[in-house]
Amino acid sequence: MAEMSKDIFLNELLGRMTAADKAGQLNLLAGTMDATGMKNTGDLEAKILSGQCGAVLNVYTPAATRALQELALASPLGIPLIFGYDVIHGHRTIFPIPLALACSWNLELIESCARAAAAEAAADGLHWVYSPMVDISLDPRWGRVAEGAGEDPWLGAKIAAAMVRGYQGADLADLTSVLACVKHFALYGAPMGGRDYNTVDMSRRAMEETYFPPYRAAIDAGAQTVMTSFNEIDGIPASGNRWLLTDLLRVEWGFQGWIVTDYTSISEMINHGTAATDTEAAQQALEAGVDMDMMSEAFLTSLPELLENQQVTMEQVDAAVLRVLATKWDLGLFRDAFARCDDARAAAIFQHPATRQLACEAAREAMVLLKNEGQLLPLDKQGSIAVIGTLADSGRDMLGCWIAAGDEAVAVSGLAGIREIAGAMATVVFATGDDLTEAGRLASEADHVILVLGETWEMYGEAASRTTIRLSSHQRKLAKRVLKSGKPCVLVTLSGRPLELTWEDSKFPAILHAWALGSEGGRALAEIIFGEAAPIGKLTMGFPRSVGQVPMTYREKPTGRPFDAAAKYSSKYLDAGNEALYPFGHGLTYGNCDYGPVTVSSAAMLPGGSVTVSAGITNPNPHPVTETLQLYLRDLVASVSRPVKELRAYQRVTLAAGETRIVSFEITDADLTFPGRDFKPVVEPGDFEAMIGPSSADLRAVRFTRLGDAE
């Protein structure tokens, strides 16, 4: 078999398959080691043994996957299984939730975390991870913002590509690589009202400019599989949408891999009202371009009948089957189906010290210092410190949602990390905060207070949308009681989404947003609090002043009547400002920097040429400071309305005490390109504004002109 070519082997195998065999290869079923949908497969083993299953999710460990793989090899054709799982931000070692990790703005770190997760997943018998989730979202009410990279399509595209590279590596047959699965295609991050699984309705321009770029970047990075979304696009569910899956994804974007549906979404087309039966839904899905059915079993039960009645063609079915079989070949499964079923190898990889160290580094870079009035942070390791809040002592909540095979027993809680890093130099006392009187007493007796509030892990993720994103009423009462003590208090917030913290911002001198930081989160949190490391995270999704502002983005269009505080008839609210409380790109560190004006190398940019924009940055502090300088562009006059600013580059710089540095960005036509009136990429001559600063709301600008071809 090793000497036989891939094409010869696969076509010979295909030639021996019946219609039922082919339907089996396109059938993805679930085990019971996790619950990630509304049902499991009760007769999984029987279906595998009879050749009615091509892939399995929610089964892992070398022993469990070996047992099912043995059944597959004992089936009539002996075709091995692919094992998949929702490895969203780590497998055994858990990294910060994706929204948190995106706030590192560190593509190399993000790729390394995906690579480490792939190695652990592969060692646990897995071949396929349902990640990255690259859905752009402007609405923090949607619980699944936790799984994405935030609101910006340019940065989201960079992160999507990095994660694909990390998961898949250079060779799928490598025992540290797994298949990436880009999800959810498409537009899943924009449900109406922020309600999960709800209708999505948007313009083609919004698709092209905001939502499509990360999907396309993941495909260009070599992603081998794509998962359909639950929503409809232009009235047609994604799993039955030929324009989306074939015309756009396969033809226009050149995707060569295969498409799997999300959990039961073929049969859900009946609920959408576009199919009356599973058979109709199966026909629509196959004709749209779907290759594998997750959990509906509509392909399994309907494809033989559809073929017999000539409602689908054998060519369509064979193309789907060959794509799946080709991936099994590329994974090395026909050569050795048990290569990833090695207990000794798994034991050597799981929770490796280097992986835990990587998780700690990721957690440090993911945190965002939202406010630090009077430089309250970092705290000295001295005196008495009261840590208050149930979330402070919860390893499970530090892990967050979608923790795969992670173990809360080995997760470092915030309290554990604070006690470890403080050591014997400070007295650390703890109260859950359930008893407000006790919490108030401990706060009054302490020199400093660390109040940990936010969301439990069940409050975000899939099927966890919220109409309010404030802290709970009890947490507000607890905060008021602690503040009555008059002691210096740091507010640490944990969550899987941006929160509405307007009241907290007005009351607390320091707010550190810690998201859900993973296995090493508590240790990293303590390192930041005590100054053993400085916060460097930058928000990739703005925090609103009020939930009434959402959906919101810094990339808004100017409108015909843009905001003017002095003009009644301008785009604004009566009861709040338009701007975010904490905008995209915001994130403080220990020590402020000074910024000089922005300059441009030339006032005119030739077609195909470039200009360089620069800004000076000075560290006036007596210690090094790390800052992330961001470049935004605005096309002032174009054939279609353009956003008021768009991120196009960034640089992280570390300045020694007293150092001044010039930070420069080269701008080329690629940075000025946008979808024209016909949605094809275009660069137009005209005036542009280049803006540099530490956040999307703190910028210094310069203008230049991109000349036309005849100028």
- With vertex at residue 335, the alpha carbon angle to CA 334 and CA 337, rounded to the nearest 5 degrees, is 65
**What is the Cα–Cα distance from 215 to 212, expressed in whole angstroms?**
5
Q: In the block, which residue shows the tokens 């991120």?
A: 647
SS3 293: strand
Residue for token pair 């303590």 = 526
DSSP E strands, 373-501: 384-388, 427-431, 448-454, 489-494
Place of tokens 């009539």: 76
- Is the CB of residue 178 less than 8 Å from the CB of residue 167? yes
Q: Active-site residue 262, yes or no? A: yes
**E strands of 509-641, at which residues?**
510-513, 594-600, 604-605, 610-618, 625-635
Place of tokens 């210094």: 700
What one-letter code names the amino acid at 284?
A: Q
> Cα separations (Å) of 254 from 63, 141, 187, 224, 323?
38, 34, 19, 12, 14
Task: Please classify residue 707 by burial: count the beta carbons closer than 10 Å to its beta carbon, then call 0-12 exposed, 13-18 middle and 19+ buried.
Answer: middle
Q: Which two tokens stand for residue 18?
A: 């019946």
Task: Give the residue from 371, 403, 381 showing the smallest Cα distance to 502.
Answer: 371
Residue 83, Ramachandran bin (φ over 0: left; ψ between -120 and 50: alpha; else beta): beta
Q: Which two tokens stand for residue 425?
A: 């130099």
In the chain, the amino acid numbered 202 is M
Q: Are 667 and 683 in contact (CB under 8 A)?
A: no
Q: Which residue in 132, 189, 140 sits closest to 159, CA to CA?
A: 132
43: which residues sit within 8 A by CB, 6+ positions away?
A: none
Q: 195-206 as b/e, with b when 16 or more CB fall inside 10 Å?
A: bbbeebeeeeee
For β-strands 660-668 and 594-600, DSSP reports them as unpaired
SS3 300: helix
Under a CB-based contact definition with an 8 Å cutoff, are residues 508 and 401 in contact? Answer: no
Element (H, E) at 111: helix 107-123
Q: From the candidates 139, 152, 262, 671, which is the catalytic residue?
A: 262
Residue 371, classified by CB atoms within 10 Å of its CB into exposed (0-12), middle (13-18) or buried (19+), is buried
**What is the residue whose two structure tokens read 């001044």?**
660
Q: How far apart are CA 456 and CA 6, in angstroms?
A: 49
The helix/strand/coil state of 220 is: helix
Distances (CA, A) of 414 to 44, 456, 637: 41, 14, 50
Active site residues: 262
